């Protein structure tokens, strides 16, 4: 068996094309309709610059708008709070994200800052309100976090089955607030039987071998070996690890891809797997919130389209 390599590049193009077409169609009836994403960056990390440029470029390509609020690394928590509150009150902004990690000289509590974002503009799905709704299964009132949402979409599209997760054993390696924990919640409410593994979990290999769907997000290069994978499993690699060679800056996943593809049924590559999906889902979430905020009759609708 050789795994089907699930191209996030191809599936992200599908999502972005659909969003672009939806924006164009909306403008036929509402010519001044916009979908505006505001990205708040503190400092000037080179990796953050790359990620931000990718988001702005993809948004522009499909007719959405992105604006970068770039702030100096000397900013204080109080000043950053004022920037977020101004964006909350700006009627021309539909989505707000704070690029992490913050690159600043002062101590700033990033959880506190993210939680200041208006939940209706929280297109990363990281505020306590959206995270809490997801944890409780209030899916119609939740903005899904972009990386877990992208993972779910890849599973549904690659298998051709929107209900593929239902009844499956799902194992998530990692419990971060951005990927592991929300992925576990999302796949649970799509009716998977979910196990979360972390640094204190014993017998991780045995738990992974039970997984029909294995989601890996721990940040350790090639941590998951082929003999950890159930034959035919759907393996989703969310890892981004820079190789040891400083001249190449090659990116590696958390899964030993070459070995794993001989065992898995489906496998997402790194790069070109989950990463592009995260950007696509961010732009999709922003469009959905723009539609909800800006179109007549949508304002009172508490339910989100997923």
pLDDT tens digits, one per residue of 59-69? 999 999 999 99
Task: Provide the pLDDT for residue 252.
Answer: 95
Distance of CA 180 to the CA centre of its chain: 11
Looking at residues 168-195, what average pLDDT do you find?
Answer: 98
pLDDT reading at 299 higher than 80 = no
pLDDT tens digits, one per residue of 99-143? 999 999 999 999 999 999 999 999 999 999 999 999 999 999 999
pLDDT tens digits, one per residue of 25-52? 999 999 999 999 999 999 999 999 999 9
Looking at residues 266-281, what average pLDDT do you find?
Answer: 97
Looking at residues 188-212, what average pLDDT do you find?
Answer: 97
Distance of CA 175 to the CA centre of its chain: 14
Q: Which residue carries 């690890």 as its tokens?
A: 241
Q: What is the DSSP letter of 303?
A: P
Q: Which residue carries 């400092």 as its tokens?
A: 43
| Edge-to-edge strand ranges of the sheet holding 213-216 | 4-5, 266-267, 234-237, 213-216, 169-173, 193-197
Please, which residues have CB within 8 angstroms of residue 255's CB and are 6 or more apart in sequence? 216, 222, 223, 224, 235, 237, 239, 267, 270
pLDDT tens digits, one per residue of 204-253? 999 999 999 999 999 999 999 999 999 999 999 999 998 888 777 889 99
Closest alpha carbon to 135 in 173, 175, 97: 175
What DSSP string describes 147-187? HHHHHHHHHHHHHT-TTTTTT-EEEEE---TTTHHHHHHHH
Active site residue 55: yes
Dist CA 126 CA 143 (whole Å)? 9
The single residue of 14, 25, 55, 250 carrying the catalytic annotation is: 55
Please, which residues have CB within 8 angstroms of residue 159's CB and are 6 or more apart in sequence? 234, 266
* Token pair for 148: 């877990």
Dist CA 3 CA 104 (whole Å)? 43
Dist CA 81 CA 17 (whole Å)? 35
Dist CA 172 CA 105 (whole Å)? 34
Task: Provide the pLDDT for residue 296.
Answer: 80
Q: What is the DSSP letter of 3?
A: P
Task: Provide the pLDDT for residue 248.
Answer: 78
pLDDT reading at 305 higher than 90 = no
Distance of CA 250 to the CA centre of its chain: 22
Task: Provide the pLDDT for residue 301.
Answer: 53
Angstrom distances, CA of residue 126 to CA of 110, 181, 189, 214: 11, 11, 17, 23
């Amino acid at each position: 068996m050789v795994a089907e390599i699930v191209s996030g590049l191809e599936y992200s193009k599908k999502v972005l094309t659909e969003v672009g077409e939806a924006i164009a169609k909306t403008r036929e009836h509402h010519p001044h309709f916009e979908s505006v994403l505001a990205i708040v960056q503190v400092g000037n990390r080179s990796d953050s610059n790359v990620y931000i440029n990718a988001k702005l470029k993809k948004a522009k390509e499909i007719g959405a708008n992105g604006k970068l609020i770039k702030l100096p690394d000397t900013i204080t928590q109080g000043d950053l709070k004022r920037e977020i509150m101004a964006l909350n009150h700006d009627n021309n902004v539909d989505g707000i994200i704070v690029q992490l990690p913050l690159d600043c000289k002062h101590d700033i509590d990033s959880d506190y800052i993210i939680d200041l974002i208006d939940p209706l503009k929280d297109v990363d799905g990281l505020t306590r309100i959206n995270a809490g709704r997801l944890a409780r299964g209030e899916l119609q009132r939740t903005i899904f976090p972009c990386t877990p949402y992208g993972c779910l979409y890849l599973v549904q599209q690659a298998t051709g089955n929107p209900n593929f997760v239902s009844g499956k054993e799902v194992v998530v390696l990692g419990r971060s607030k951005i990927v592991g924990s929300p992925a576990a919640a999302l796949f649970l409410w799509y009716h998977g039987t979910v196990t979360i593994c972390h640094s204190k979990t014993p017998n991780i290999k045995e738990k992974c071998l039970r997984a029909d769907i294995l989601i890996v997000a721990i940040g350790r290069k090639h941590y998951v070996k082929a003999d950890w994978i159930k034959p035919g499993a759907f393996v989703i690699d969310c890892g981004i690890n820079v190789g040891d060679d400083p001249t190449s800056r090659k990116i590696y996943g958390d899964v030993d891809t070459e070995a794993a593809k001989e065992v898995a049924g489906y496998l997402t590559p790194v790069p070109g797997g989950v990463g592009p999906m995260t950007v696509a889902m961010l732009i999709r979430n922003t469009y959905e919130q723009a539609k909800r905020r800006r179109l007549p009759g949508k304002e009172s609708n508490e339910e989100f389209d997923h």
